[in-house]
Chains A and B, each alone.
Chain A
Amino acid sequence: MNLNYEKSSIELPEAWRAKAPFFLAAGVILLMLGFLCAFGGNSNGEDNSLGFRYLCHSYLANFVYVFTFTLGALFFILVQFLTRAGWSTSIRRVAEILMMMIPYLGLLFLPIIAMLFWGSSALYEWNGKNIHNSVIASKASFYLSKEFFTARTVVYFTFWILTANWFFRISRAQDESGDAELSLLRQKWAGPLIMLFSLSASFAAFDWLMSIDADWYSTIFGVYLFAGSQMSFFAMMIVINMLLQNAGKIQKLVTVEHFHDMGKFLFGFVMFWSYIAFSQLVLIWYANIPEETFWYQVRLDNGWMTFSYCIIPIHFIIPFLFLMSRHIRRNRTALTIGAVWLLFAHWYDMTFLVMPNAGPAQLVPLFGHLLGGFGMLSIFASMFIWRADGVPLVAMRDPRLPEAMSYTNPIL
C-alpha cells in the first residue's frame, strides 16, 4: 500500500491540545453551577433532601449520557471485527479512542459509589435504612445491596477496560508492523467478547438506571439503553469526524461515503430506538398492570407530562423525517446538524429515564441539569483530547484500509 499522506494530517489538531484543561475547568464549573441550580430551586423549601435528590439524579443521568458514547464505541469495534468490515477502517481509530475513554469515565462513577457508602438513599431507594416497600426490601437484602452493586460495577468496568485495552494495544501494534495476523486475532475473539459485552451492558443498565425504580422491572431495558447508546455513539462520531475535518485533519481518509454510512446507521438506530421504546410502552400500556404502569405514571405526573410527550417528536419524528433523505445523509453539514440534534435527543432520553424520579418538574433544577449535561460534555471533550493526543487518528497500516478508501454507496 502506498498511502502517502502527511503524518500531520492524522494527528490531533495542535490547537485542540491547549484547550483540554480549559474544557475540564469549564466542565467542572458547569457541573457545580448545575448542582447549585438543583439546590437553588429548592433552598426555600423545608424538604432539603429534594435538592440533593435532583443533584444525584442529574449526575447519574449526565454520567450515563456521556458514558453511552464510549460503550457504543466498544460495541462498534467488536462488531467491525466480527463482521470483517472493511468500510469502517478509516474511521475506526476515532471509535477506538472513544472506547479507550472508558477507564477515564469510570472515575466519574466513583461519586455514585461514594454516595452509596455514605448511606444516602436519595438516588437509590434500596440503599435506605427503613424501606417501606416490601418488594424493594426483599431485593435490598442481597442483590441490591451497596456491596454487591459495587462489586458488579467493578466487574463490568474491569471487563470493558480489559477488552478495550486489548483491542487498542493490538491496533497500535498493527500501526507499527502492519501485520495482517493482528486483524485475524481480533476477529477471532470478537465473537465471544461481544456476547459478554451484551450481558454486561444489559446488567449495567438494570443496575445503574432501572434500579432507581427498584420495584419496577422491564426485560427490554438493557436493549433500550443499548439502542440509545449506539445512536448517540454514531452521532458523536459524526460530530468528531466533522470537527477533525474542519480542523484540516483526515480530510482525504474519511470520505463522504463514510459520513453517508454513519448517517445510515444513525438513521437506523433512531428507528431501532423508537421500535424498542414503542415495544416497551405498548406492552405495559396494553396489559395495564399497576406494578408496571406506575413507571410511566411517574413520568406523566408532577408536571412531567409535557416533557415526556415531547420525547416522541424530539427522539423520533423530527430526526426520522430529517434523516430520511439520502441527500441529507451525504451532506456533511446537514448530517452534523442531525447528529447534534440527536446528541440532544439522547440527553433528553436520559433525562426522561432518570429525572422524574427525583421529584416534580421544576424549571431551575432542570436548567441546572442541562448545565450539568454541558459540563459533562465538556469534561468528555477534555478527556477525548488527552486520550487522542499522540495517537494517529487513522489506523494507517490496517490491511483493510484500501477497501475503506475505494468503496461507494451505490443507491441508497
Chain B
Amino acid sequence: MSEHKPRKTTEKKVPKAFGWMAEYQDENSLLAAARKVRDSGYTKTDAFTPFPVHGIDEALGIKPTILPFIVLCAGITGLSTALLMQWWMNGVDYKYIISGKPFGITPASIPVAFELTVLFSAFTTFLGMIALNQLPKFSNPVFTNPRFDRATNDRFFLYVEAADKYYNRESVKELLGGTHPDSLDEVLEDTTPSALPRPIILGAILLVIAGLIPAMIILNIRAGYSTAPRFHVFFDMDFQPKKKAQQTTTIFADGRSMRPQVKGTVGRGQLEEQDSFYLGYDPAKLTAIDTLETGKFVSLQDSKTADGSAAKPAADGSAQTPAAPAAALNLPWIDKLPIEVSEANMALGKQKFETYCSACHGYAGFGDGLVHKRADALAQGYWLAPTSLHVDKVRTQPVGQIFHTITKGQGKMASYASSLNPKERWAIVLYVRALQKSRNADMSEVPADMVKTLDEVK
C-alpha cells in the first residue's frame, strides 16, 4: 500500500515479485516436485490443483487443521443453548401446561437439542473453513498470470513464495526448473487499477438507499403518532362480513339486522323470565298490566332511579310497599320467600352474606364494613356510606325487592347475579331478614328457654 502514491507519477513501474510458480501436467509430477521443494527446506510453499491431490499435505509438509476442535466447541455450545433455551422458555419464564407433560428437560427437548447442535456445528464448519482459509480474497497475485486459469481445470501448479526465509530468486528458479515444469513464471503484482468501476459503486449506493426506504417507513410508523386510522396491510379479524346489532340490512324487509324473536318459540333461558324465583316479582301480575310496556318500563325505572327522579307509578299498587320512597322501584314484589326457611338455608345465607355483602354492609348489616371504613377515611367526607340494612326503608321492603337489589344492583352496588345463583341470593335475603329481626324483636318473640340466657348476657 505504500506504493500507492507514486503510481500516478511513474506509470510504468516494475511490478513487485511474489515468488515462482511452476506448472505441471499431472498430479504425480506435482507431488514429485513438491517433495523436492520440501526437502530443500522451503516452507512458504503452496500447490494449486483442480481437485484435492492425495498426499500433497505430506509432500508439502502441511500441518493438520484445528477445524474439528473448533467445531466440537460449537457443537457443545449448540447443545447447551438448545437445552437451556427450552428449559428456561417453557419451564421458567413462560410456564405452560400441555397434555400433562412436565416442565424442563424431557424427551420432547431432544429433537430441538439435536437440530441446534447440528446447526451450530455445520455453520461453524463452513464459516471456520472460510475464515481459516482467509476467504473471501478477491485480489490475489497468483491470478495475474492467465495461465493460472487452468489451475481450476486440468493443470497443477507449485508456488514458492518470496517470503520464505531461504528464498533466493535464482536458486528457486533453478530448483523448480529442475522438476521439468510445463512453464515457470514469476508471480507478479497485479498492476491493473484496483478501484471498482464507477457504475458499480453508484449502483451499490442506490441499492443501499433504496433498501433503507422501507426500513424508514416502518420505523416512522412504529415510532410516530398519527390521527389517521390504521392502515390495514392484513385485515386480521378487524373487518368481518357480519352484521352487528342496530345495523341496517337490505336482506330483510324491515331493514333491521337484529331479528325479533320468532312467534311461538322459546329461547334458551327465556323460561326463567317467567318465574318469580328468578325475578323477585310476579311477572304474571306485571304482564296483566301491560305486556308490551313491561320491558321498557323496568329499564326506564332502573335508569330513572339512578337519576333520583320520580318513578312512574304505573303499577296498580297491589304489592306496593306503603313507605316506599319516591325513587324506589314499583313492581309487584313477592313478599314470601320462595325457599324453605331452614337451618341449612340460613347457614348458606350467612356464609354468602359474609363473603359477598359484609365487606360493605358489615357483618351485622349496619353499613359499616371494612370497605366503608377505609373509603370513609380516604375520601374525607365525599364517601357515601352503604345503606344500613336496619333502616326502615330496607326493613319494610318485601323480600322480592331485596332479591332484586342483589340481582340487579342499586346505586353504587353492583349486580351479584354472576357471583351468586338465585338460591344463594334468596338465602342471603333470608339471612338479612334474620339480621333485621335480631335488631327489632320483642321479648315476646324470644323463645321461653332463651329468655334466661339473654338475661345472663345482660
A: residues with CB less than 8 A from B are: 278, 281-282, 285-286, 288, 410
- Indicate if the CB atoms of A278 and B107 lie closer than 8 Å: yes
Most chain-A Cβ atoms within 10 A of its Cβ — which of B101, B107, B110? B107
- CB < 8 Å: which of B54, B101, B107 contacts A281? B107
9 contacts between A and B (CB under 8 A): A278-B107, A278-B110, A281-B107, A282-B107, A282-B110, A285-B106, A285-B107, A286-B101, A286-B107
Which single residue of chain A is at the shortest CB-CB distance from B100? A288
B81-113 residues with Cβ-Cβ distance < 8 A to A are 99-101, 106-108, 110
- Indicate if the CB atoms of A288 and B107 lie closer than 8 Å: no
CA distance in complex: A142, B110 (Å):
41
Q: How far is the CB of B348 from chain A (nearest CB, A)?
A: 41
- Indicate if the CB atoms of B54 and A286 lie closer than 8 Å: no
List, in ascending order, chain A residues with CB within 8 A of B101's CB.
286
List, in ascending order, chain A residues with CB within 8 A of B107's CB.
278, 281-282, 285-286
B: residues with CB less than 8 A from A are: 54, 99-101, 106-108, 110
Which single residue of chain A is at the shortest CB-CB distance from B52? A410
List, in ascending order, chain B residues with CB within 8 A of A285's CB.
106-107
- CB < 8 Å: which of B54, B99, B108 contacts A282? B108
CA distance in complex: A285, B102 (Å):
11
Helix, strand, loop or mixed for chain B's interface? Answer: loop
CA distance in complex: A285, B106 (Å):
10
List, in ascending order, chain B residues with CB within 8 A of A281's CB.
107
Helix, strand, loop or mixed for chain A's interface? Answer: helix
List, in ascending order, chain B residues with CB within 8 A of A282's CB.
107-108, 110
List, in ascending order, chain A residues with CB within 8 A of B100's CB.
288
CA distance in complex: A282, B111 (Å):
10
List, in ascending order, chain A residues with CB within 8 A of B54's CB.
410
CA distance in complex: A286, B100 (Å):
10
CA distance in complex: A288, B99 (Å):
9
Q: How far is the CB of B81 from chain A (nearest CB, A)?
A: 19
Q: How far is the CB of A136 from chain B (nearest CB, A)?
A: 29
Known: A278-B110, A285-B106, A286-B108. 12 other contacts (CB 8 A): A278-B107, A281-B107, A282-B107, A282-B108, A282-B110, A285-B107, A286-B99, A286-B101, A286-B107, A288-B99, A288-B100, A410-B54
CA distance in complex: A286, B102 (Å):
11
CA distance in complex: A282, B100 (Å):
15
List, in ascending order, chain B residues with CB within 8 A of A286's CB.
99, 101, 107-108
CA distance in complex: A285, B110 (Å):
13
CA distance in complex: A410, B106 (Å):
39
Which single residue of chain B is at the shortest CB-CB distance from A284? B107
Q: How far is the CB of A408 from chain B (nearest CB, A)?
A: 9
CA distance in complex: A340, B106 (Å):
31
List, in ascending order, chain B residues with CB within 8 A of A278's CB.
107, 110
List, in ascending order, chain B residues with CB within 8 A of A410's CB.
54
Q: How far is the CB of A54 from chain B (nearest CB, A)?
A: 30
Which single residue of chain A is at the shortest CB-CB distance from B107? A282
CA distance in complex: A278, B100 (Å):
20
CA distance in complex: A24, B108 (Å):
47
Which single residue of chain B is at the shortest CB-CB distance from A286? B108
CA distance in complex: A278, B110 (Å):
9
CA distance in complex: A385, B113 (Å):
46
CA distance in complex: A278, B106 (Å):
12
Q: How far is the CB of B405 from chain A (nearest CB, A)?
A: 51
CA distance in complex: A410, B108 (Å):
38
CA distance in complex: A278, B99 (Å):
20
List, in ascending order, chain A residues with CB within 8 A of B110's CB.
278, 282
List, in ascending order, chain A residues with CB within 8 A of B108's CB.
282, 286
Which single residue of chain B is at the shortest CB-CB distance from A411? B52
Which single residue of chain A is at the shortest CB-CB distance from B106? A285
CA distance in complex: A361, B101 (Å):
28
Q: How far is the CB of A305 from chain B (nearest CB, A)?
A: 16
CA distance in complex: A285, B108 (Å):
9
CA distance in complex: A278, B108 (Å):
10
Which single residue of chain A is at the shortest CB-CB distance from B110? A278
List, in ascending order, chain A residues with CB within 8 A of B99's CB.
286, 288
Which single residue of chain B is at the shortest CB-CB distance from A287? B99
List, in ascending order, chain B residues with CB within 8 A of A288's CB.
99-100
CA distance in complex: A129, B106 (Å):
42
CA distance in complex: A281, B101 (Å):
14
CA distance in complex: A281, B106 (Å):
11
The 9 closest A-B pairs by CB, nearest first: A282-B107, A285-B107, A281-B107, A278-B110, A286-B108, A410-B54, A282-B110, A282-B108, A278-B107
CA distance in complex: A319, B101 (Å):
30
CA distance in complex: A155, B285 (Å):
91
CA distance in complex: A286, B110 (Å):
13
Q: How far is the CB of B104 from chain A (nearest CB, A)?
A: 14
